Amino acid sequence: MGIVQKPSIASYWSKKSTQTTPIFPATMSRDRYLLLLRYLHYNDNANALPRDHPDHDRLHKLRPLLDHLMARFEELYTPGQNLSVDESLMLYKGRLAFKQYIPSKRARYGIKLYKLCDSSSGYMYRFRVYTGKDSKLAPPDCPPTLSTTEKIVWDLSYPLFGKGYCIYTDNFYTGVPLYKFLYSNGTGACGTIHSNRKGFPTKQFGKQKRGETSALRCGELLAVKYTDKKDVHLLTTIHNECTSAVHVRWRDSPIMKPLCVPDYNRYMGGVDKSDQMLVPYLASRKAYVWYKKLAVHLIQMSMLNAFILYQATHARQITFLKFQESVIESLLCPEENAPIVGEVEDVIRLRDRHFPGYIPPTEKRVTPCKRCRVCARQGRRKESRLHCPDCPSKPGLCVPDCFKIYHTVTHY
């Protein structure tokens, strides 16, 4: 449903020539799909702690799925040296205690996810679902002096400590205490920072003209002020005070920028890259309750991660669309004798010659019966000993009226 976008779930089972998608009715009936969707759960609600309990988990309905995906994402992929931390918003406008409003995002209203993504490929290595400002965040060995946003970066990146990785953050997460602790744990960091953040030497920077750069160092920390159209403040433990020439298409001569600026622009977009790849294929529907919608979104993120793994291990490159189609076909039609789709059956049903016959006996029943296909469509339950052996699905039919209707009505 992510590849083929339709206005409603019922449209996928429509037999109208302008809407037909034969693979859906060939796989399962609409009612069966809706029944499975209705009773789809990822955890036992009976084990959920009450809301007034101090250990109440707002994500209890999805906890096994979240834990499984997090473990598999880390196990199957070794990210490149540069990663980025940013937030993503899954569209949801229903009633929910931790629903967020972020006007800068495409969705604006929805469920917020914090992600740690590989900057080059967009692979989502770790993630955390935001459940409200009152949620407890206690990552392993996290210094208690860090702010909430700094703890998010720690929580996402602590499995990579001591391995030489570089984390890029924007001004929502960047802080002087965080960068000090990351550096002491063998992890570099770089990011834009609000000029009024505690510990940042804003007052020591003077006024600058466009194109000018100032830098101040305190041990491992380097504070940078670069002026382009407006002042940009950065904090880094990776770069030095040097500048480099950056070529811009609309200028004849190169622009001198601090080393951290082009690197930040290059490596900060890992989360945005994964979101952009997924946008054309989002399958979550308006009618889904929040936890089912979030589960579908995470499963699609798993599909994207699998695609990135495929690209990394195969010389033959394919598009994300082709990869999804290949996975879907292997799941729906694992055997060579794939089910006959609706269009082919309709041609046989309406054009070939058909003669009724008795349903052959089985081991359990000497005189077996089938539900009449026409009567069932009209809401009546009636069984018949006769069927049409010439149709691919061999439907049960009452003779003569239902047999005639089934083989003459176009949309049936």
The pLDDT tens digits for 28-68 are: 889 999 999 999 999 999 999 998 898 899 999 999 999 99
Strands (E), 139-242: 166-169, 188-192, 213-218, 221-227, 231-236
pLDDT of residue 136: 78
Residues contacting residue 256 through CB under 8 Å, at least 6 positions apart: 211, 213, 243, 244, 245, 246
State the burial class of residue 393 (Cβ atoms within 10 Å of its Cβ: 0-12, 13-18, 19+): middle
Tokens of 381: 């339950």
Q: Which residues of 226-261 are buried (b: 16+ CB within 10 A; e: fewer)?
A: bbeeeebbbbbbbbeeebeeeeeeeeeeebebbbbb
Least confident of 245-254, 263-272, 331-340: 331-340
DSSP, collapsed to helix, strand or coil, labels residue 229 as coil
Least confident of 59-68, 189-198, 379-388: 379-388
Place of tokens 């979030």: 294
The confidence band for 340, taking pLDDT boundaries of 50, 70 and 90, is very low
In this structure, the strands spanning 124-129 and 188-192 are unpaired
Contact 224, 264 (CB under 8 A): no
**Run of H or E including 31:** helix 30-38
> What's the CA gap between 195 and 199, in Å, rounded?
10
Q: What are 79-132's pLDDT values in tens digits?
A: 999 999 999 999 888 889 899 988 887 778 899 999 999 999 999 999 999 998
> What's the CA gap between 26 and 206, in Å, rounded?
70
**Alpha carbon separation from 246 to 214, 249, 258 (Å, rounded):** 17, 10, 10
Contact 215, 258 (CB under 8 A): yes
Q: What are 253-277's pLDDT values in tens digits?
A: 788 899 999 999 999 999 999 999 9
The confidence band for 335, taking pLDDT boundaries of 50, 70 and 90, is low
Mean pLDDT of 283-309: 90
Nearest CA among 366, 365, 374 for reference residue 398? 374
Q: What are 150-161's pLDDT values in tens digits?
A: 999 999 999 999
Where, residue-wise, is CATH 3.90.350 in the chain?
59-322
Mean pLDDT of 388-411: 86
In this structure, the strands spanning 100-101 and 109-118 are antiparallel
Q: Kindly give the residue spans of alpha helices, DSSP state H, lying in 316-367.
A: 320-332, 342-351
Contact 314, 306 (CB under 8 A): no
> What's the CA gap between 91 and 311, in Å, rounded?
28
> What's the CA gap between 119 and 166, in Å, rounded?
10
CA 41 to chain centre: 18
CATH class of the structural domain 59-322: alpha beta
Most confident by average pLDDT, 19-33, 219-233, 272-286? 219-233
Nearest CA among 363, 380, 362 for reference residue 371? 380
Give, to the nearest 10 degrees, the angle between helix 320-332 and helix 290-313: 110
Nearest CA among 50, 57, 12 for reference residue 30? 12
